Amino acid sequence: MSFNEVTVRERIRTALTPRLTEMGLTQADVGDGMSLTQSGVLDSFALMELIGRLEQDLHVELDFESVEPEQFTTVKGLAAAFVKALTA
């Protein structure tokens, strides 16, 4: 199976769904460029857990050394980081 930013974004959004439901939010409330931590959707630990689950699902490890911290707090940035890791 091949991944691109669109399919990875879908994966991230699926993984986020339980948390959004809990907060009474819908997918439409979360923009691709919105910070998941600063908006209060996830705290930093929950974000790391989400990333950990995605890493397992996609059988890949992100290189946090090369990712800007502010990048992996958004759906868009995170998807880009995963695609980069998957195609490396």
Partner 1 sequence: MEERGVQEEAVIVSRPAPDHLWTYFERAWRTAPERLALHVDGRGWTYAELAVRALAVSEAVQRHQPNGPFVGLHAHRSIGAYAGLLGILHAGKAYVPLNPQVPADRLSTIAGLADLELIVADAAREASAQDLAARRSAPCGIVLAGDAIGPAAPHRAGQEAYMLFTSGSTGVPKGVPIRHASVVAYVEHLLERFEAGPEDRFSQTFELTFDLSVHDLFVCWAAGASLHVLPQDQLMAPARFIREHGITQWFSVPSAAVLLDRMRLLKPGAFPSLRVSAFCGEPLPADLAVKWAAATPNGRVENLYGPTEATIAITGHVLDPTTPKARHGILCIGRPFPGARVRVVDADGNDAPIGELWLGGPQLSTGYWKDPERTATAFVIGGPDRERYYRTGDQVQRDADGDLYFISRLDDQVKVRGHRIELQEVNQVLKAVSGGAFAYALAHPVRDGIAQGIEAFLPLALQAEGASILEACALRLPEYMVPARLHFTDDIPFTTSGKADLRALRARLEEPARTGDR
- Select from 1, 28, 33, 40 the one that contacts partner 1 (CB under 8 A): 40
Q: Does 73 bind partner 1 (CB under 8 A)?
A: yes
At its nearest, how many Å lie between partner 1 and the CB of residue 60? 13
Q: Does 70 bind partner 1 (CB under 8 A)?
A: yes
- Select from 7, 26, 61, 87 the one that contacts partner 1 (CB under 8 A): 61
What is the residue-wise DSSP string for 1-66? ----HHHHHHHHHHHHHHHHHHTT--GGGS-TTS-TTTTTSS-HHHHHHHHHHHHHHHT----TTT
